[in-house]
Amino acid sequence: MHPTSKKIRYPEIVYDENGNVQLSTQSDIAGTSALELDEHLSDDQSLQPQHQQQNRVQKFISNIPKVLSKPPLVSATPEWRKLQRHAQQIKSTHLRDLLQDPERCDAMWAEHDGVYYDYSRQQATLETMELLFDLAERQDLVKRIHAMVNGEKINFTENRAVLHTALRASKDDIGTVFVDGVDAIKEVHEVLDQIKEFTEAFRSGKITGYTGKRMRNIVSVGIGGSYLGPEFLAEVLKTEEEGINSSLGYSLRFLANVDPVDVERTCADLDPEETLIIIVSKTFTTAETMLNARTMRQWLWDFMGDDVEVVRKHVVACSSVSATENVKKFGVDTEKYFFRFWDWVGGRYSVCGAAGAVPISLLYGFDLFEKFLEGARSMDQHFINAPMRENIPIIMGLLGVWNSSFMGYNSRALIPYAQALLRLPAHIQQLDMEVRCIYSLCRL
């Protein structure tokens, strides 16, 4: 019998009137589940050694009390039920009627650092917003935001911190955020300093290729967040005056599709002797990325021979420290051309880390990338410090909950009128899809 074909019996979980989990003892659920899981796995003992199977079961069981000890779903709160009743009224109200209320329209906006957010076109009233703010307060949203930016392990399913904000934190903040005893912001700036030194040497001609030629072409190999964010940013800067001037003489291409046609189109008019390959993979084992990485390595070897120095001079890596051995085995010079990132940053946010910093700084210069980080830092500070009713990210998030959970809208359109933002929808689509795992932050 296949191990997944047997049904596991779990004890019933009962909630009291406040939505808290009621169990006789935590050991009851752990003990029962352990027995069931041991039986569940017993039909396929050949898959793993016995001690590994036991460790899997014990690890799974040990996490059950952690998950069950978290607050219940937000839908069990009085604030949620108020919004449900309120939504029935709003559904019968047309937006054109809401726009006739000048007090409402004058109040439904927020602004920060040149970003103006007008949400008066939402099918919501001032009362709606107050009910949403009540819901956020009930869920201790502000407290949870501070827990996130201070490095607490709010991702309790993986027992990890969620620190994309550290990627754009100021050097002045070194020593303020620690993860497992490690100064996160100090780590970030060590990598940024490394990237600055490398990219400036590349752009000045100090770093050359295997044959001594100056390199001017960059190919970034990666999938998902490893390329969607950087590609979006590269397109945005392409038509900015500073971007136009700083990128003269250089080209940047992204390779994400394993289709050989995409590889051919990427390499068609490039000179391998003048091309640098960036491989972006957290584990350096991602199937699609590594297939393309090996293809690009072979492309270099086909033109310049299979000397190990070809790879050491033409390939750099952005990966996790835990993948160092994999990076080294591929042939990358891990002393000079290995730019690390951390498991407390999800791939969807990696545009602010090495995955974005290396290609963007190579094409446009580190100074321009640093300005991008400053803008992100400004919005982070707004998110952390602005009052809830003036906080653009919080308002947008709450309206997202309102539209999807109460109004029943199950799709959303993101339509940039500026052509420079043509890759924004793809980037945001992936980010929004994955960020739903931030359930561990707000339980919404």
In tens, the pLDDT along 8-55 reads 343 444 445 554 444 444 434 334 443 343 433 333 333 444 555 556
In tens, the pLDDT along 265-282 reads 999 999 999 999 999 999
Cα separation, 149 vs 330, in Å, equals: 35
Looking at residue 221, what is its pLDDT? Answer: 98
Q: Compute the mean pLDDT over every residue in the chain, rounded to the nearest whole number.
A: 86
- Render 397-422 in DSSP notation, one character per residue: HHHHHIIIIIS---------SSGGGT
Residue 252 per-residue DSSP state: E
Instruction: Kindly give the pairing relationship between strand 21-22 and strand 217-221.
Output: unpaired
> Higher model confidence: residue 365 or residue 65?
365
Closest to 232 (Cα-Cα) out of 350, 397, 379, 320: 350
Q: What pTM was computed for the model?
A: 0.81
Count of beta carbons in the 10 Å neighbourhood of residue 401: 18
Rounded average pLDDT over 386-409: 96
In tens, the pLDDT along 95-116 reads 999 999 999 999 999 999 999 9
Backbone angles phi, psi at 333, to 5 degrees: -75, 95
Cα separation, 69 vs 86, in Å, equals: 31
Residues of the chain with pLDDT > 70, as a percent, come to 82
Sign of CA dihedral 354, 358, 361, 363: negative
Rounded to the nearest 5 degrees, what angle is found at the Cα of 375, between the Cα atoms of 371 and 379? 165
Please give the sequence-ordered ranges of beta strands (E in DSSP) within 17-63, or none if there are none: 21-22
pLDDT greater than 90 at residue 196: yes
